[in-house]
Amino acid sequence: MELCRQIMQARKCGHGLFALLLDPDKKEALQPLQYLNDQVDYIFVGGSTGIISEDFIVSIRHQTALPIVLFPGSPKQFTPSADALLFLTPMNARDAKWLIDQQVAVAPLVAQCEIDSVPTAYILIDGGRVSTTQRLMQAEPLPRTDLSRIKAYAQAAEQMGKRLIYLEAGSGAAIPVPEEVIRAVREVTDLPLIVGGGIRTPEAMQHALDAGADLVVIGNHFEQNPQDLLRFSHK
Ligand code: 1GP
């Protein structure tokens, strides 16, 4: 699987992508899968804590043939049986643990398997409340209004060789990444762009796609309202 190529192909066709995020640490994590419809393009798996077991991946595969992309919160969430891995650099982190130690810990495992590992710049934007990720990393999110700084982060990501940018407002964010932020990032880079955090309605998803996101990730909302997945159709 080549995630970036697929995303760029979808962009060329004017097709916005949608990923359902499952948190293996939540007991109701798999519930939304029973409401899967053809609007979902990817299953993302990851969370701030916990592990991703082979069993968890197998349970997903029993219910869908959609590609599974790891969006890990730690090396414990790596499993070679997924199709792709967002190999994250949390750009707002300042602690070596998050910037290099965890990547070093998992690199030998990634090197041994065929997984599509995608160097990803993970950029936290202030989502109006302190997210678990922000708290764990003790990272300072970028202010939503500081477009020039956000653009500079995106440019740095590209110049550092990242192949994908993930703009994150934080799981359960009060305010999703604003459209002007998404537009600003798309002004300065053509890298595939993922946006997530605090998106709860089909309209909010569509606004993010219209502003230039290639792929929108939604998790929290469907943990609480799994059947609501049926309302999300953007095709
Ligand atoms: C979190 O971007 C994802 O890392 C999704 O956020 O859970 O708020 O949908 P939500």
Residues in the ligand 1 pocket, defined by CB under 6 Å: 21, 168, 171-173, 196-199, 217-221
Residue from 22, 165, 171, 175 to probe ligand 1 pocket by mutation (most atoms less than 8 Å from CB): 171
Domain at 3-231, CATH class: alpha beta
Residue 14: CB atoms within 10 A of its CB come to 7
pLDDT attached to residue 1: 73
Stretches in the chain below the pLDDT threshold 50 = none
Note whether 43 and 69 are within 8 A (CB): yes
Question: What is the structure's pLDDT at 233?
Answer: 67
Contact (Cβ atoms closer than 8 angstroms) between residue 37 and residue 15: no
198 Cα–ligand 1 center, Å: 6
Per-residue pLDDT at 232: 85
Q: What is the DSSP letter of 35?
A: G
Global pTM exceeds 0.75:
yes
Taking CA atoms only, the protein residue closest to ligand 1 atom 2 is 196
54 neighbors 24 (Cβ within 8 angstroms): no
CB 15 within 8 A of CB 41: no
